[in-house]
Amino acid sequence: MASSRPFSCLNIVVFLCFFYVLPQVSLAAKARHFHWEVGYLFWSPDCVENPVMGINGQYPGPTIRAKAGDTVVVHLHNKLHTEGVVIHWHGIRQFETPWADGTASISQCVINPEETFVYRFKVDKAGTYFYHGHYGMQRSAGLYGSLIVDVADGEKEPFHYDGELNLLLSDWWHQNVHEQEIGLSSNPMRWIGEPQSILMNGKGQYNCSLAGHLSKKTSLCKLRADAQCAPPILHVLPNKTYRLRLASTTSLASLNLAIGHHKMVLVEADGNYVQPVTLDDIDIYSGESYSVLITTNQNPSMNYWVSLGVRGRHPATPPGLTILNYHPNTARPPSSPLPIHAAWDDYPHSKAIANKILALQGSPKPPTRYDRRIYLLNTQNKINGFTKWSINNVSLALPSTPYLGSIKFGLKGAFDHQSPPENFSSEYDVMKPPSNPNSTVSSGVYKLEFGKTIDVILQNANALNANVSEIHPWHLHGHDFWVLGYGEGKFSEEKHSKNLNLKNPPLRNTVVIFPYGWTAIRFVTDNPGVWAFHCHIEPHLHMGMGVIFAESVERIKNIPQAAIGCGMTAKMVMNNSHT
């Protein structure tokens, strides 16, 4: 909710520190209906035409805007000729609607060509979210869009701002997603390589530059100002405070955002208010969303660069660029140099940013004790010569029948009923390649009781090649979790548990594991359903880096037939009008 008057960053920090976050309950909640068709388009996201998966003839998909307490109803019709489709509403917890989570083979059946499925769910919490395809690697094909939830009528944000800007971040390849999937599933594996472009709101520049001094090539972006690849200029007035919403649906790239000569005050992370902190730049990993406040207090006769650099991988992709355009200047490229990003492997810089993100005073605190602790070791492995990613030496393979239906009906042969390991060998050396790289495939699930406090220790390790450990952003469906801490090397319960943050840990739905390190999270099982927990890097999930949490499925009532009426549950659904 925007204010009509300027508000300085210092005022914002003071105001946030003492603001009590009111419960978001709206007496005027409403149902918001959307009718969408998903299909392929020819599009030029980075000035090079390629097939793109779009919605209603546009890419990225339409922005959904609702208020906390509203019900969103999306009538999704599949116009793809040969593919199924689902859409996941990233960050929406789906209380009492687990079948609307939009995960193929987990919460619902795939929507086949010319079929329509109706997603109906409540957006209970204000914040910055997005949606994307969750079948195969359709997110890499461009199936995504923004989902913004404003505070309910009568409620206020714990900060003021004069205007709002929105950037949905993604990466883009010229090789189509089907070729990428085939390459990843080949022996030997053919890696997808680094993206050709970094996109903002689906727009980027390949083989050209917004800044003439950066390239000797013709500045196609300047010549084609109205093209599909024209940068999304951020138009601002001097001496105002703007809320900049950021969400990353990248398939691979971890990013760092910086705005020339402007600091940012971080106020929201994954739909949760955080203690305001002033930053020169911010890391944004795939699956994360943020709100930052910027004050336009620089020279009003100039424009300023907004730049996205690659983190955690040796960058072979040029920065994503756009312009912060001060009115009434023309949207000309700034004459100043680009903002300087930290080196791609400057992990101390990234860890310093992550450790500054803390919950706003008055936010819910985690339980002081856990009921169950699950250790998840991330490793790269081999199965019959094929390269896979595994968790505790198990590579996830989804079944043809959605877990939600097969667990509800107690079907015996729908998935592997042996529970996956909850720990890994204490002898495992996370600093070296696995001594035995062979792994196994399973569709097993971790069954969680209702009302329990669960700790998960995400443990990173060396990949198959020596001296290689990658960044992995992990996303949990159906829940927010508290980020209790990060650490180096192997997690030790004796050494590290006593130093976990139980005072003001941030609530998130996505969190990063740094190379050769661990991350500890805690959540409460208060939402019956079957929930994916996985690396949000698209090829890593495709290669098995994820687990499934089945949470008190027996408590779920009235699952729609359309959600689970396929595979082994089809006959059961026909015999039961309500489950």
Residue of 398, 402, 381 lying closest to 390 (CA atoms): 381
Give residue-wise pLDDT tens across range 46-61.
999 999 999 999 999 9
Distance CA 535, CA 396 (A): 12
46: which residues sit within 8 A by CB, 6+ positions away?
Answer: 172, 196, 197, 199, 203, 204, 205, 206, 229
What DSSP designation does 111 have?
Answer: B
30: which residues sit within 8 A by CB, 6+ positions away?
Answer: 67, 70, 71
Could you tell me if 104 and 86 are in contact, meaning their C-beta atoms sit under 8 angstroms apart? yes
CA dist 166 → 159, 441, 482 (Å) = 17, 40, 26
Q: What is the pLDDT of residue 210?
A: 53
Residue 105 CB burial class (10 angstroms; 0-12, 13-18, ≥19): buried
User: In CATH terms, are 29-150 and 372-572 the same topology?
Assistant: yes
Residues of the chain with pLDDT > 70, as a percent, come to 91
Give residue-wise pLDDT tens across range 470-526.
999 999 999 999 999 999 999 999 999 999 999 999 999 999 999 999 999 999 999
Residue 261 CB burial class (10 angstroms; 0-12, 13-18, ≥19): middle
Residue 29 — pLDDT band, cuts 50, 70, 90? confident
Q: Please tell me the class of the 163-356 domain.
A: mainly beta
What is the arithmetic mean of pLDDT over 415-437? 96
Who has greater pLDDT, 335 or 174? 174
Q: What is the pLDDT of residue 6?
A: 37
Give residue-wise pLDDT tens across range 112-126.
999 999 999 999 999
Residue 77 — pLDDT band, cuts 50, 70, 90? very high
What phi and psi, each to the nearest 5 degrees, are found at residue 323? -125, 135
What is the arithmetic mean of pLDDT over 529-544? 98
Residue 225 — pLDDT band, cuts 50, 70, 90? low
Distance CA 90, CA 94 (A): 10
Q: Which two tokens stand for residue 261?
A: 């000569």
Q: Count Cβ atoms below 10 Å from residue 27 Cβ, excluding itself.
A: 8
Q: What is the pLDDT of residue 208?
A: 62
Q: Beta-strand (E) ranges in 439-576?
A: 440-442, 446-448, 453-459, 472-476, 481-488, 507-508, 510-513, 517-524, 529-535, 546-551
Distance CA 118, CA 73 (A): 7
User: CA triplet 403, 518, 544: central angle to 5 degrees?
Assistant: 35
Q: What is the pLDDT of residue 205?
A: 87
Amino acid letter, 544: G
Residue 545 — pLDDT band, cuts 50, 70, 90? very high
Q: Where are the domains of the chain?
A: 29-150, 163-356, 372-572
Distance CA 289, CA 302 (A): 29
Who has greater pLDDT, 206 or 142? 142
CATH fold label, 372-572: Immunoglobulin-like (2.60.40)
Q: Count Cβ atoms below 10 Å from residue 361 Cβ, excluding itself.
A: 15
DSSP string, 408-473: HHT-SSSS--SPPPS---TT--TTS--SS-B-EEE---EEE-TT-EEEEEEE----SSTT----EE
Dihedral-angle region of residue 34 (phi above 0 means left; psi in -120 to 50 means alpha; beta otherwise): beta
What is the arithmetic mean of pLDDT over 250-274? 98
What DSSP designation does 181 have?
Answer: H
416: which residues sit within 8 A by CB, 6+ positions away?
Answer: 442, 443, 444
Pick the range with the lowest mean pLDDT from 12-26, 37-51, 310-324, 531-545.
Answer: 12-26
Maximum distance among all alpha carbons in the chain? Answer: 70
Give the predicted TM-score (pTM) of the model: 0.92
Who has greater pLDDT, 212 or 128? 128
Could you tell me if 358 and 274 are in contact, meaning their C-beta atoms sit under 8 angstroms apart? yes
Q: Is the pLDDT of residue 100 over 60?
A: yes
Across the chain, what does the average pLDDT equal?
92
CA dist 62 → 59, 76, 91, 131, 167 (Å) = 8, 13, 17, 10, 13
User: CA triplet 184, 534, 290: central angle to 5 degrees?
Assistant: 110
Q: What is the pLDDT of residue 330?
A: 94
Sign for the CA dihedral angle at 429, 430, 433, 437 comes to positive
Q: Please tell me the class of the 29-150 domain.
A: mainly beta
The residues with which 484 forms a beta bridge, in sequence order, are none
Residue 569 — pLDDT band, cuts 50, 70, 90? confident
What is the arithmetic mean of pLDDT over 292-307? 97
Q: Is the pLDDT of residue 221 over 70?
A: no
